[in-house]
Amino acid sequence: MKETITLLLRTALDALRAEGALPVAGRDDNIQVEAARDRAHGDYASNLALTLAKSAGMNPRELAERLVKALPDANAVSKVEIAGPGFINFFVNAGAAGEVIFDILEAGDDYGRNNDGGGQKVQVEFVSANPTGPLHVGHGRGAAVGDSLCRLLAANGYSVTREFYYNDAGAQIDNLTLSVAARLKGIEPNDPAWPKDGYRGEYIQDVAHAYMQGETVSADDRRVTAAADPEDMAAIRAFAVAWLRHEQDLDLRAFGVEFDIFYLESSLYESARVEATVEQLIDGGHTYEADGALWLRTTDFGDDKDRVMRKREGGYTYFLPDVAYHLDKWQRGFTTVINEQGADHHSTVTRVRAGLQALEAGIPAGWPEYVLHQMVLVTRSGEEVKLSKRAGDYVTLRDLIDEVGRDATRYFLVSRAATSQMTFDIDLARSQSSDNPVYYAQYAHARVCSVEAKAAAEGKPFDADSAANALHRLEDQREKELLNRLGRWPEVVKRAASGREPHQIAQYLQELASDFHSYYNAVRVMVDEDELRNVRLALGMAVRQVMRNGLDLLGVCAPREM
RNA sequence: GCCCGAGUGGCUCAAUUGGAUAGAGCAACGGCCUUCGAAGCCGUGGGUUGCAGGUUCGAGUCCUGCCUCGGGCGCCA
């Protein structure tokens, strides 16, 4: 429909140019047609006259009038109006507007999907938590946003790889190992002998216990049997990492998030990629030695100060493997890479990009992309909470899922723009009432299932042919609004993906659910008249389909009953 | 001090990427269940979009300068 209207406007525009009323040199001819946000503005609106007024040397309303006069007849359009400063508003007739219902029912799960990506490879790196503790709410936000982003990109025709990167060898793993070793000797966090910077959470005790039991743990990317020897630091380290990776797998599984690749920092050393990267940077002439360390002149590429690559004592800083890792991503053919991380890591953005530029490997300056999410504050009864039974000092993701459920947790964490700090209200997420946006959306889906079942039970199962004959009967304002909303779905899917903003999906679903509940309360579906009943059922089923498609993009269930 | 992000009704957040009268939910108040699920609907009140300039047909959105809050500023990741 939008395409039809764009075409009408183009025809009118060409006609005016042909008769010399407009300068032919229209440099940018992108005709904007948008679904109107206000009913009074019709179904679709264009600002064409406003954007062209200046170059045409005409006032916008006058230009709009000439455009409207030049519009060819189209039976889908029932009325055209000029409003405000010069907007052209199109009113679509009921039968044509209703066609979207069958577009949706025929496309099914594919409605809203497109092939804009053309199979192009995209990699999304997210969560990337180090194996030193259970996942917390911040990781949960990253998981919810990252996973939804992946689903969105796939829906837009991209070939998506989900990757989880973690440090399995650095100083933090040393701390982990020392912490477990201390627990093995019966040392507790408050003892004077407790290692400095040790991990104090109770789960360390669990690791120690499992280790001495000789347990075998398997994670998505490894499997390790405990040596049960309290003196064997290498064995403790290997077991602890596996144990925590396993815990994180359980967290992710409970959250419904899966990864294609777990990428180890240690592998960058084993494959000599770190060494190769160093040499390449030195060859590029962007390095220098000072204070016994090797520096990279990142200030050549927008950083506010230079960064150390190799420490005085010989080891590399984390920043170097980061660069090596991203070079590897590039070499694997990912021209689009999106890193989803907490905003507390934002300082790595400039650094990594600078390092990649210094490689002079033909990597574009703004590569890779970053989606940084802000902090999450969790509240209960209006007060900040720190669920601490397992972790010691922060809200674990698993505790949250256990308490409020997977669907609600995901929906909440993904429904706000990543750039804004958010408050996660446990009371609201738990409430099984209208207050809860998750149930609000899911209930719309379940309601359609319910009425469809009722129709079947009464011996009046849905009849598509009957509905197809009655599209013009959808004349109620609420029905028109629903149709308008449904027709906008494909654009929402595009926009949410291109802007890397999955929260737009949640936003849309709330609006769709609202439109539907309002309609359902006011207009009866199960009427005696066959065609009217069937066309209303069809409308409901279209809503259900879009609701299901949308919830799927968020990784949330679409239940048949609540 | 420098860098990133945010500032929208009492609270939590949106706003079709520069569009028309800034919208939802919570909280407050008043209505709607003998008919498709009330996990729902309808209605009322509540705003100088942090402040001051600027850009233009048009600014919550873009630019400049301030203010406040969060995060970062390590030879940790």
Q: Stated in angstroms, how far is A418 CA from B4 C1'?
A: 13
Q: Stated in angstroms, how far is A126 CA from B5 C1'?
A: 19
Fold topology of A2-92: Gyrase A; domain 2 (3.30.1360)
Task: Return the higher-pLDDT residue of A177 and A26.
Answer: A177
Q: Are A301 and A353 in contact (CB under 8 A)?
A: yes
Tokens for A439, please give them: 């149930």
Q: Collect all residues with Cβ–Cβ distance below 8 Å to A482 and sequence separation of at least 6.
A: A512, A515, A516, A519, A539, A543
Q: What does the DSSP assignment read for A171-185?
A: HHHHHHHHHHHHHHT
Please give the protein residue whose CA is closest to the C1' of the nucleotide B38. Answer: A434
Tokens for A23, please give them: 């300068």
Please give the protein residue whose CA is closest to the C1' of the nucleotide B16. Answer: A34
SS3 A527: coil
- What's the confidence (pLDDT) of residue A170? 82
Strands of A293-296's sheet in order across? A287-290, A293-296, A307-310
- What's the confidence (pLDDT) of residue A562? 87
Q: Does the pLDDT value for residue A252 go beyond 90?
A: yes
Tokens for A96, please give them: 């044509």
User: A137-155 and A530-554 helices cross at what angle (nearest 10)?
Assistant: 120
Report d(CA A243, CA A224) in Å as an integer. Answer: 8
Phi-psi region of A522 (alpha: psi -120 to 50; beta: other; left: phi over 0): alpha
- Mean pLDDT confidence for A250-260: 96
Q: Stated in angstroms, how far is A51 CA from B63 C1'?
A: 21
CA distances, A294 to each of A10, A215, A283, A354, A495 (Å): 61, 43, 13, 16, 44
Q: Are A124 and A149 in contact (CB under 8 A)?
A: yes
Report d(CA A396, CA A138) in Å as an integer. Answer: 9
Report d(CA A326, CA A334) in Å as an integer. Answer: 10
**What letters, b where the CB count within 10 A reaches 16 and e where it falls short, cover A393-414?**
ebbbbbbbbeebbbbbbbbbbb
DSSP H or E segment with residue A44: strand A44-46
Q: Collect all residues with Cβ–Cβ distance below 8 Å to A322 and sequence separation of at least 6.
A: A348, A351, A352, A355
SS3 A75: coil
Q: Does the pLDDT value for residue A254 go beyond 50?
A: yes
- Model confidence at A426, pLDDT cuts 50, 70, 90, reads confident
For residue A370, which of A341, A408, A334 has the smallest C-alpha distance? Answer: A341
Please give the protein residue whose CA is closest to the C1' of the nucleotide B37. Answer: A447
With 0-12 / 13-18 / 19 or more C-beta atoms within 10 angstroms meaning exposed / middle / buried, residue A282 is middle
- What's the confidence (pLDDT) of residue A196? 85
Please give the protein residue whose CA is closest to the C1' of the nucleotide B13. Answer: A416
- What's the confidence (pLDDT) of residue A436? 79
Q: Are A174 and A199 in contact (CB under 8 A)?
A: no
DSSP H or E segment with residue A282: helix A273-283
Fold topology of A434-554: Isoleucyl-tRNA Synthetase; Domain 1 (1.10.730)
Q: Stated in angstroms, how far is A148 CA from B12 C1'?
A: 22
**What letters, b where the CB count within 10 A reaches 16 and e where it falls short, cover A300-311?**
ebebeebbbbbe
Q: Nearest nt to A293, CA vs C1'?
A: B75
Q: Stated in angstroms, how far is A382 CA from B69 C1'?
A: 19
E strands within A95-215? 121-125, 159-166
| Residue owning tokens 């949410």 | A496
Please give the ipTM for the structure prediction: 0.95
Q: Stated in angstroms, how far is A367 CA from B6 C1'?
A: 25
Q: Stated in angstroms, how far is A371 CA from B71 C1'?
A: 15
Q: Stated in angstroms, how far is A554 CA from B40 C1'?
A: 24
| Percent of chain A with pLDDT strictly greater than 90 | 73
Tokens for A231, please give them: 């003196």
Per-residue pLDDT tens digits for A43-58: 899 999 988 888 777 8
Report d(CA A327, CA A334) in Å as an integer. Answer: 10
Report d(CA A400, CA A518) in Å as an integer. Answer: 32
Report d(CA A474, CA A538) in Å as an integer. Answer: 11
Q: Stated in angstroms, how far is A487 CA from B18 C1'?
A: 24
Mean pLDDT (chain A, rounded): 91
Please give the protein residue whose CA is closest to the C1' of the nucleotide B40. Answer: A517
**Nucleotides of chain B within 7 Å of a protein C-beta?**
2-7, 12-17, 19-21, 24-27, 35-42, 57-58, 70-77
- Model confidence at A515, pLDDT cuts 50, 70, 90, reads very high
The partner residues of A306 in beta bridges, in order of sequence, read none
Report d(CA A316, CA A308) in Å as an integer. Answer: 8
Q: Nearest nt to A498, CA vs C1'?
A: B17
- What's the confidence (pLDDT) of residue A389? 47
Per-residue pLDDT tens digits for A6-41: 989 989 888 888 887 777 655 446 788 888 888 788
Per-residue pLDDT tens digits for A108-144: 999 999 999 999 999 999 999 999 999 999 999 999 9
From A4-18, A211-225, A273-287, the region with the lowest mean pLDDT:
A4-18
Q: Kindly list the domain boundaries of chain A, sorted by start residue.
A: 2-92, 171-256, 434-554
Please give the protein residue whose CA is closest to the C1' of the nucleotide B2. Answer: A304
- Mean pLDDT confidence for A356-364: 94
CA distances, A315 to each of A84, A158, A283, A311, A412 (Å): 66, 39, 20, 5, 42
- What's the confidence (pLDDT) of residue A28? 47
With 0-12 / 13-18 / 19 or more C-beta atoms within 10 angstroms meaning exposed / middle / buried, residue A491 is middle
Please give the protein residue whose CA is closest to the C1' of the nucleotide B41. Answer: A521
- What's the confidence (pLDDT) of residue A27? 45
| Residue owning tokens 């959470």 | A201
Q: Stated in angstroms, how far is A419 CA from B63 C1'?
A: 21
- Mean pLDDT confidence for A395-402: 88
Please give the protein residue whose CA is closest to the C1' of the nucleotide B14. Answer: A507
With 0-12 / 13-18 / 19 or more C-beta atoms within 10 angstroms meaning exposed / middle / buried, residue A45 is buried
Report d(CA A162, CA A260) in Å as an integer. Answer: 5
Q: Nearest nt to A290, CA vs C1'?
A: B75
Q: Collect all residues with Cβ–Cβ distance below 8 Å to A503 and sequence separation of at least 6.
A: A414, A415, A416, A417, A418, A496
Of how many residues is chain A composed? 562
Q: Stated in angstroms, how far is A139 CA from B6 C1'?
A: 20
- Within 10 angstroms of residue A422's Cβ, the number of other Cβ atoms is 20
- What's the confidence (pLDDT) of residue A433? 61
Per-residue pLDDT tens digits for A288-339: 999 999 999 999 998 889 999 999 998 899 889 999 999 999 999 999 999 9
- What's the confidence (pLDDT) of residue A184? 95
Q: Nearest nt to A305, CA vs C1'?
A: B73
Per-residue pLDDT tens digits for A449-476: 999 999 999 999 999 999 999 999 998 9
- Model confidence at A386, pLDDT cuts 50, 70, 90, reads confident
Q: Does the pLDDT value for residue A187 go beyond 70?
A: yes
Report d(CA A120, CA A159) in Å as an integer. Answer: 6
